[in-house]
A and B are shown apart, each in its own frame.
Chain A
């Protein structure tokens, strides 16, 4: 050994032509290439993460204002002569006064209130002041009066939404520059809005009704909400879970535990992996052709949506469930078989309970993907304009027309009024909140129950 170390020392005196410590040109080039290559990797990651961040940030900033809403608060005298011309407080006769009658009443009341408060309405005529009030407010007042005719003749304080443009002005979406070129609103109206804010007539607050209201027409963006969409999505997720969970578990048990290796099971396996890669819109076509045209299920219903989404989600769930079942070690099966359990008892009493957390995690993640699925739902008519809440789950509500959260995002985004873009982004915030919750549940489940064998 000592020879070796002695021989390892370079002969003293001979000048070293090159050293490992000083880099020659080639080595410098190679190291530069190395650094560049690594930088590309970092750049790629930075780029994708920053795009993700920009996307979430723009959607969040666009959408968060959907949760705020400008309201007008002013006293209205419910003139009995105008609202109940017959004079006998019979709601059926009063119903002949349409919303137009209430609109006029509200407009007059607002104009009168502005005059009483001494707010200058210079440059704004009464019709322009009327534009401040949302077109949904008169209908609500009418419902309120019809439900309680005793209100007639009293002076009540009405707090109703301001119209979309005024709301947009308070949120900064409508500015004086855009108002100058917008035929729906004038700069003078915005000045008046400023004065009304000062007087406390026009206020802005958190808008619960964005989460509960049904959709509203193009003219009334301020009245639109996600109520129907949330119910529709909830029904669909419930049905998808009911359809896919037993089906997926049964299929994966068979394929993992019982299936003989033959052409038939090979075919099933190839099929499942191919189905997972079929574009979602193709499932929409399938749903349209099979469930609506052939089986005659009602269009736009959560049931059909759930059936289509179930077919789409099933391959994912089967793949996840099979992985969970496969992760249960064979020793468990051998032990159960050894004490005399049948194959079926082994699977249902021992393997399945041990695989359950994994299956559940996979299912929740599958459902989270399913919740955001849009394209197939467009084809089965869930993009329709639905203003009525579906009935309760036991009154056939799953057959009623409904819409779904991601579809609502799409249908609002395709409307012309920019107020709907804000709503669309707001709907995405709600959708992402649901997704985050589902994913957290899945992660917690995995952390809590995951076993390493």
Chain B
């Protein structure tokens, strides 16, 4: 029975649990619902939950555990030296799984009977060719060990599937029986159901924690693997980035970090003044009518996907900068450059800074402004000398958050900054960033056992640490220097 079918059966049992629980509760009080502790529906839900939930938990655990146990058993088929290495073992097991799936498909298509699939041997002809006839393409010829392992895999999977069904259904029926047995008019069904619901709510709220743990663990484990293959100090302080897929790569972080920071700097030079002045105008000068038109329009920029900005950088901004600035001044010949990417990221960040700064400026109490006007200051003097200083911590926080976004931005730099990792000051040169290199090292067919691939995880870790640090610092600045106006 497939997992899907099992779940359907569980649902049916759940419905049965609902009907039985509700009916039994009502019959125990002679059909008078006023004598029940809870509303009749709660007895139904109580039955359904007991029928489904434990069985579902057991099924989930089984589905996770079964492949692990089977893989451990399969290890006996291969000589120890073949599975010593982690990546080799993974590759072999993938082969085994593919052959097993191929046999399954062949049986399903009627090309092999169940016995033939169990008896087929490499000695009697090419297994690959026979599987190819039913449309299962295998990369290379099947070795005897792999074939035997695949057959054993099918056997184990079949037995496992049978026991999975028996255990799940037994638990479900047991839960159902128990629910029916304990149900009577005095059962505090609502309280029990609500405890389960609360449990589910709590579970849902931990997803954020699980995601964070997942991010940290996935990157940390691969980064540690990377550090066993490549000296970590060379990664952190290396001045050249030159991955070659024959080995001997030089994977220094510094050029990438430089490119990232340089591009972010350019983007901040664009975004901070424009964003701040936009926010000041909207908060202090604009009439409500102008504000209600302009503010949504500015925020449209924030709603446009970054890949659109990427194409804009690639097709419009890059060639424009090259033809009008870089080429005439002799600074560069490339359309993709630090300036291209920086300016476009800056545009992307304008609405981010302006809407955050707008909120902060609006939070400055009117009394401060009135005091300043009372002393004879003009509006701009009030803004510069009273409002902005009062809003400064929030604005600094907004700028730091924008910087963290600029550092983590991927599509614009992938399409607009270039791929050459170098340490250069010329802003019209193509340079590259951490995010670009993560993309280029991890796209395409990759094996996860070379330092050239694993370095992407170390880069991701670096990026995560930098952006997280900036965020926390931004929050700290805001909290520490915030004036309290009560």
Contacts and interface: CB of A to CB of B under 8 A. Distances in A.
A267 B415 CA distance: 37
Interface residues of A, number: 85
Contacts of B19: none
Interface in A251-299: 251, 253-255, 258-259, 267-268, 271-272, 274-275, 277-286, 288-290, 293-294
B307 A374 contact: yes
Interface of A is mostly: helix
B347 A48 contact: yes
A285 B442 contact: yes
Interface stretch (B160-168, B208-216, B326-334, B420-428): B208-216
Interface of chain B: mostly helix, strand, loop or mixed:
helix
Contacts of B404: 277, 279
Contacts, number: 250
Given A268-B206, A379-B443, A59 B308 contact: yes
A45 B298 contact: yes
Interface residues of B, number: 85
Contact of A409 (B222, B311, B405, B409): B311
Contacts of B463: 279, 281-282
A285 B468 contact: no
A282 B464 contact: yes
A274 B378 contact: no
A274 B463 CA distance: 14
A395 to B, nearest CB: 12
Contacts of B274: 44, 47-48
Contacts of B152: none
A279 B415 contact: no
B439 A268 contact: no
Interface stretch (A83-91, A132-140, A425-433): A425-433
Interface in A34-78: 34, 36-38, 40-45, 47-49, 51-52, 54-55, 58-59, 62
B206 A247 contact: no
A255 B381 CA distance: 44
A375 B205 contact: no
A37 B285 CA distance: 10
Contacts of A368: 303
A388 interface: no
Nearest to B218: A289
A372 interface: yes
Given A48-B347, A48-B350, A30 B200 contact: no
A265 B304 CA distance: 34
A258 B201 contact: yes
Given A342-B194, A372-B307, A375-B435, A278 B410 contact: no
A52 B304 CA distance: 10
A383 B445 CA distance: 11
B281 interface: yes
Interface in A13-51: 30-31, 33-34, 36-38, 40-45, 47-49, 51
B106 interface: no
B301 A48 contact: yes
B310 A413 contact: yes
B209 A379 contact: no
A133 B467 CA distance: 52
A320 B315 CA distance: 36
Contact of A52 (B215, B297, B383, B401): B297
Given A279-B408, A290-B214, A413-B311, A44 B281 contact: yes
A159 B222 CA distance: 54
B438 A285 contact: yes
Nearest to A292: B448
A406 B207 contact: no
Closest 10 CB pairs of A and B: A279-B408, A372-B305, A41-B281, A289-B218, A250-B204, A44-B277, A37-B380, A375-B410, A254-B201, A251-B205
Given A54-B316, A58-B315, A375-B439, 14 more contacts: A31-B378, A33-B381, A44-B273, A44-B276, A45-B298, A55-B347, A59-B308, A59-B312, A251-B208, A271-B212, A286-B215, A314-B207, A374-B305, A379-B438
23 contacts: A33-B381, A44-B276, A48-B274, A48-B298, A48-B301, A48-B350, A49-B297, A251-B201, A251-B204, A268-B205, A281-B463, A285-B456, A289-B218, A289-B222, A311-B211, A314-B211, A342-B194, A344-B194, A344-B197, A375-B410, A375-B435, A375-B439, A406-B305
